């Protein structure tokens, strides 16, 4: 089939996700990428694979989000010169995935940014861990690195280096601010500090063991990752997941969304000096997590989603407790929202701060929560729903302002909608089995694509004949949103950075892998 009237032959990929794959070359990829941009679509992800065992050289995969679903282009690359055209001029968001792909596989985007991304000089430049013949257990002594940050020059301009260890209890990253007075002229991020070799680690695991690792790529999104991973695995094995399990997965995903929004709303109040907000929201979050521990055995819901279904169940008594808690939390959060809305000092800090304009958000392919606060109305739960979302009629929230205030309001609205969804899921939960056997995996590419609380999580999975993972790439929505934060902070004052950063609350571990 054709997509966007481009001369590429797309085939529907197996599985529940509406995804279409086509092989192409560099020119075909650029022409399609341009057509996607013209049609209002977005860049989703880019990653590479080593296929030399099949005498097929390397491959680079590029995923785009369209109204029809996910378009996945595969470019076969020669084993002796694995190069493909630089996508950054069309999609600035491609910069970091391209650099990460080069660091891990030695696949080069011709003319792209030559600086390393995940490699911090702690392994040699010609050591490519994701090459299949690379012995990833080798270790090397750490070396100092002189990273070429872009310098801002002019009278009175100076730099503030922050990190990798940040002042708070937060993941490590490096932020280089160029400022004049208190005003931020430029922010440049250097991430990769939590690179743990996750993708190589997958290649030592079986399809069913990989789920535990997928659920730990970004600890705040364990349900989203585990579900995306399981969708990919189930599409490889043509597994029919029982209805009850699908509905319970949605229940868990919405609970994860509420838990994160509760925490963020507390911290956003606190970062604007309203510590009352932190105490109140963290109390509610603690109540929420305790219920999860009690009903599902884990506060953060880790390992509750498993290949073939779910590892938990909900009793009638548990269902009643969930409904009661939703109503209690809704009552409390409505009261706190009223306090936040009416608090002049808080609104003064929130409004117009850290603005990401809608046009820029579109240019940077920003989706997820941050995108919806800047008019980017992408939500897989509506547009590319996996079961049971097609039956739930999710009400999407979106705003145009793109400032901290918009991201705060969006969290309130999404939280209320998730509480409604939880009630609906509990009321309509089908009876039946909780898990189906996975079956024998095929050799195709399996995809999972799930709207987590932060945005869309994509997992692409391939296995060998013996059921061991051959390649697994998990893509966090933060890849595309981090560069947007660099823009959103421009022109703001340095003390507003923590507030702006928190309003995005992006994952480090999810992009460092």
Pairing relationship of beta strands 19-23 and 69-77 according to DSSP bridges: parallel
Phi and psi at residue 306, in whole multiples of 5°?
-135, 160
Least distance between other proteins and beta carbon 25 (Å): 32
CB-CB contact of 249 with 389 (8 Å): no
Residue with tokens 């820029």: 360
The only residue of 31, 170, 360, 436 in contact with other proteins, by rule CB under 8 A: 170
Q: Which of residues 195-214 bind other proteins (CB under 8 A)?
A: 195-198, 200-201, 204, 212-213
Residue closer to other proteins, measured from CB, 4 or 336: 336
- Candidates 89-97, 107-115, 186-194, 304-312; binding stretch for other proteins (CB under 8 A): 186-194
- Candidates 78-86, 132-140, 318-326, 491-499; binding stretch for other proteins (CB under 8 A): 132-140
Of 440, 410, 361, 327, nearest to 43 (Cα)?
A: 361
CB-CB contact of 330 with 416 (8 Å): yes
Gap between the Cα atoms of 277 and 340, Å rounded: 8
Of 399, 269, 284, 401, nearest to 339 (Cα)?
A: 269
- Number of residues lying near other proteins (CB under 8 A): 60
Sign of torsion, CA 490 492 494 498? negative
The only residue of 44, 71, 217, 310 in contact with other proteins, by rule CB under 8 A: 217
- Candidates 8-16, 23-31, 62-70, 282-290; binding stretch for other proteins (CB under 8 A): 282-290
Least distance between other proteins and beta carbon 101 (Å): 16
Per DSSP (E only), the strands in 286-373 are 305-306, 309-310
Least distance between other proteins and beta carbon 264 (Å): 11
Least distance between other proteins and beta carbon 328 (Å): 13
What mask, x for binding other proteins by CB under 8 A, covers residues 88 to 127? --------------------------------x-xx---x
CB-CB contact of 436 with 309 (8 Å): yes
283 binds other proteins (CB under 8 A): yes
The only residue of 48, 106, 129, 448 in contact with other proteins, by rule CB under 8 A: 129
Q: Which of residues 289-348 bind other proteins (CB under 8 A)?
A: 289, 293, 299-300, 302, 335-336, 338-339, 342
Residue closer to other proteins, measured from CB, 20 or 202: 202
Of 102, 126, 130, nearest to 116 (Cα)?
A: 102
Least distance between other proteins and beta carbon 336 (Å): 8
Gap between the Cα atoms of 486 and 224, Å rounded: 26
Gap between the Cα atoms of 304 and 298, Å rounded: 8
Least distance between other proteins and beta carbon 513 (Å): 9
The only residue of 21, 263, 309, 477 in contact with other proteins, by rule CB under 8 A: 263
Gap between the Cα atoms of 352 and 192, Å rounded: 30
Residue closer to other proteins, measured from CB, 18 or 408: 408
Least distance between other proteins and beta carbon 215 (Å): 9
Instruction: Decide: helix, strand or coil at residue 289.
Output: helix
Q: What is the 3-state secondary structure (H, E, C) of 392-427?
A: CCCCCCCCCCCCHHHHHHHHHHHHHHHHHHHHHHHH
Instruction: Provide the total of helices (H) and of strands (E) in the chain, helices listed first.
Output: 16, 15
272 binds other proteins (CB under 8 A): no
Phi and psi at residue 135, in whole multiples of 5°?
-85, 100
Of 506, 497, 414, nearest to 454 (Cα)?
A: 506
Q: Round to the nearest angstrom and report the end-to-end CA distance of the chain.
A: 34
Gap between the Cα atoms of 422 and 141, Å rounded: 50
Pairing relationship of beta strands 19-23 and 309-310 according to DSSP bridges: unpaired
Residue closer to other proteins, measured from CB, 279 or 327: 279
- Candidates 94-102, 162-170, 371-379, 467-475; binding stretch for other proteins (CB under 8 A): 162-170
Which two tokens mark 224? 């989203």
Q: Which of residues 466-495 bind other proteins (CB under 8 A)?
A: none
CB-CB contact of 173 with 117 (8 Å): no
Least distance between other proteins and beta carbon 230 (Å): 16
The only residue of 16, 86, 220, 403 in contact with other proteins, by rule CB under 8 A: 220
286 binds other proteins (CB under 8 A): yes
498 binds other proteins (CB under 8 A): no
Gap between the Cα atoms of 103 and 130, Å rounded: 9
Gap between the Cα atoms of 248 and 257, Å rounded: 14
The H or E element that residue 254 is part of is: helix 243-271
Q: Which of residues 337-396 bind other proteins (CB under 8 A)?
A: 338-339, 342
DSSP state of 440: -
Least distance between other proteins and beta carbon 472 (Å): 14
Residue closer to other proteins, measured from CB, 10 or 281: 281
The only residue of 98, 218, 325, 418 in contact with other proteins, by rule CB under 8 A: 218
Least distance between other proteins and beta carbon 468 (Å): 15
- Candidates 2-10, 32-40, 271-279, 356-364; binding stretch for other proteins (CB under 8 A): 271-279
Least distance between other proteins and beta carbon 491 (Å): 26
Least distance between other proteins and beta carbon 511 (Å): 12
Q: Which residues bind other proteins (CB under 8 A)?
A: 120, 122-123, 127, 129, 136-140, 142, 164-165, 167-172, 192-198, 200-201, 204, 212-213, 216-220, 222, 263, 276, 278-280, 282-283, 285-286, 289, 293, 299-300, 302, 335-336, 338-339, 342, 507-509, 512
């Amino acid at each position: 089939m054709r997509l966007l009237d481009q001369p590429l032959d797309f085939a529907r990929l197996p599985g529940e996700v509406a995804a279409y794959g086509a092989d192409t070359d560099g020119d075909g990829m650029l022409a399609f990428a341009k057509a996607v941009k013209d049609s209002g679509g977005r860049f989703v992800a880019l990653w590479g694979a080593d296929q030399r065992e099949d005498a097929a050289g390397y491959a680079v995969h590029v995923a785009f989000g369209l109204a029809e679903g996910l378009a996945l282009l595969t470019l076969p690359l020669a084993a002796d010169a694995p190069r493909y055209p630089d996508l950054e001029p069309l999609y600035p968001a491609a910069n970091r995935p391209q650099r990460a792909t080069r660091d891990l596989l030695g696949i080069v985007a011709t003319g792209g940014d030559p600086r390393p991304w995940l490699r911090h000089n702690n392994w040699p430049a010609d050591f490519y861990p994701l090459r299949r013949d690379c012995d990833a257990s080798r270790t090397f002594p750490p070396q100092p690195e002189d990273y070429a940050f872009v310098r801002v020059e002019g009278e009175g301009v100076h730099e503030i280096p922050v990190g990798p260890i940040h002042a708070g209890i937060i993941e490590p990253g490096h932020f280089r601010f160029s400022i004049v007075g208190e005003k931020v002229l430029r922010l440049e991020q250097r991430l990769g500090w939590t690179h743990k070799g996750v993708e190589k680690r997958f290649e030592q695991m079986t399809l069913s063991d990989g789920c535990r690792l997928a659920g730990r790529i970004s600890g705040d999104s364990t349900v989203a990752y585990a579900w995306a991973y399981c969708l990919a695995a189930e599409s490889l094995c043509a597994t029919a997941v029982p209805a009850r399990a699908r509905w319970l997965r949605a229940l868990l995903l919405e609970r994860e969304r509420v838990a994160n929004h509760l925490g963020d709303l507390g911290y956003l109040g606190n970062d604007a000096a309203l510590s009352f907000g932190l105490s109140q929201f963290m109390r509610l979050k603690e109540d929420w997590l305790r219920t999860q521990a009690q009903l599902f055995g884990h506060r953060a819901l880790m390992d509750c989603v498993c290949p073939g279904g779910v590892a938990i169940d909900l009793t009638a008594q548990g269902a009643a407790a969930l409904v009661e808690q939703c109503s209690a939390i809704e009552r409390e959060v409505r009261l706190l929202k009223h306090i936040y809305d009416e608090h002049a000092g808080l609104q003064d800090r929130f409004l117009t701060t850290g603005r990401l304009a809608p046009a820029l958000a579109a240019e940077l392919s920003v989706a997820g929560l941050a995108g919806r606060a800047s008019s980017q109305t992408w939500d897989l739960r509506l547009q590319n729903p996996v079961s049971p979302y097609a039956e739930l009629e999710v009400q999407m929230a979106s705003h145009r302002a793109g400032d901290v205030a918009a991201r705060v309001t969006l969290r309130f609205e999404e939280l209320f909608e998730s509480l409604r969804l939880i009630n609906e899921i509990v009321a309509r939960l089908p009876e039946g089995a909780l898990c189906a056997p996975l079956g024998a995996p095929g050799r195709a590419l399996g995809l999972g694509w799930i709207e987590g609380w932060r945005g869309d999580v994509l997992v692409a999975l391939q296995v060998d004949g013996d059921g061991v993972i051959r390649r697994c790439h998990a893509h966090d929505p933060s890849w595309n949103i981090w560069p947007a934060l660099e823009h959103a902070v421009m022109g703001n004052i340095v003390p507003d950075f923590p507030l702006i950063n928190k309003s995005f609350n992006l994952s480090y571990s999810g992009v460092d892998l």
